[in-house]
Structure 1
Amino acid sequence: MYYPKFIYENLPYAYFLVCAYLLAFYDTWPVFFSAGLLYCAGCITLVTRSEYRRVDRRKDIENKAVDKKRLPEWLYEYLPYGYFAVAMVIVLKTNSSALKFIAFCLMILALRNLLFRINNRRKAKSLF
């Protein structure tokens, strides 16, 4: 089954919008669970697409000695989305100014990580 490119490319963001709508206007556990599932579906879709579309050269981690300070790859891929999810829940469900500041910092950290990741996964410009 094929979708038009416009729908296919924007589907994860539609998941995020519906998730935000559910969290903003409803306060029941089934809605929280549904919003969480939609958010996870959007994250999985974006990470899978990113992995498939990578044009940079991946290092052969399996053949090298494992660095103790390195995060597992699945955690590394999903960490910015986790930061953003925690920040959004804090913003939508609390009234504390200090917590909202922490949420803002988490959003900036998530955005920074995602932008660096997008930039680093592009093919480097060559002179030829």
Structure 2
Amino acid sequence: MVLPKLVYENLPYLYFLASGGLLVLGDEWALIFSAGIFYAVACIVLVSRSAHRRLDKHKANSIQYLFPELIYEYLPYTYAAIGIFVLMSTVNPFYQFAAFTLLILALRNLLCRKNNRTKSPSLF
């Protein structure tokens, strides 16, 4: 089965929207579990697509990560999930600020990662 490019490229974001929609519907454990599944699937799809589309693969083997590569790949998504969970579950301004900071950090990491991986290889 082949999906149209418009649907295929946006499918992980639809999973994120489904996850958010399920979280908004209620706080039953089944809804939270389903939202977590949708979120995890979206993250897995995005990370696997990123790995296959990298233009800087020649540099990937020489990079020494602080964390194992698998954890490194999913870390921004973990930051975002924790930030969203804390924002939804607390009214304390300090915790909300910390959650917002985590969301900004996750967004920054994802944008920098996308920028670095989509550059063509250069000599310098």
CA deviation digits over 1:70-125, x for unaligned, max 9?
Answer: 21000000000000000011111211111110011000100110011011112247
TM-score, normalization by structure 2: 0.90
- Residue of 84, 91, 116 corresponding to 1:88: 84
Query: Counterpart of 2:52?
Result: 52
Letter of the structure 2 residue corresponding to residue 43 of structure 1: C
CA deviation digits over 1:8-51, x for unaligned, max 9?
Answer: 00000000011011112211001111000000000000000000
Which structure has the greater CA radius of gyration? 1
Mapped partners of 2:94, 2:85: distance in 1: 14
Mapped partners of 1:17, 1:33: distance in 2: 15
SS in 2 for 1:27: coil
TM-score, normalization by structure 1: 0.88
Letter of the structure 2 residue corresponding to residue 33 of structure 1: F
Give the length in aligned residue pairs. Answer: 122
Query: Counterpart of 1:73?
Result: 69
Q: Are the counterparts in 1 of residues 55 and 121 from structure 2 also a CA contact under 8 Å?
A: no
C-alpha RMSD over aligned residues: 2.0
The runs of 5 or more residues in structure 1 that have no matched partner are none
Whose helix fraction is larger, Structure 1's or Structure 2's? 2
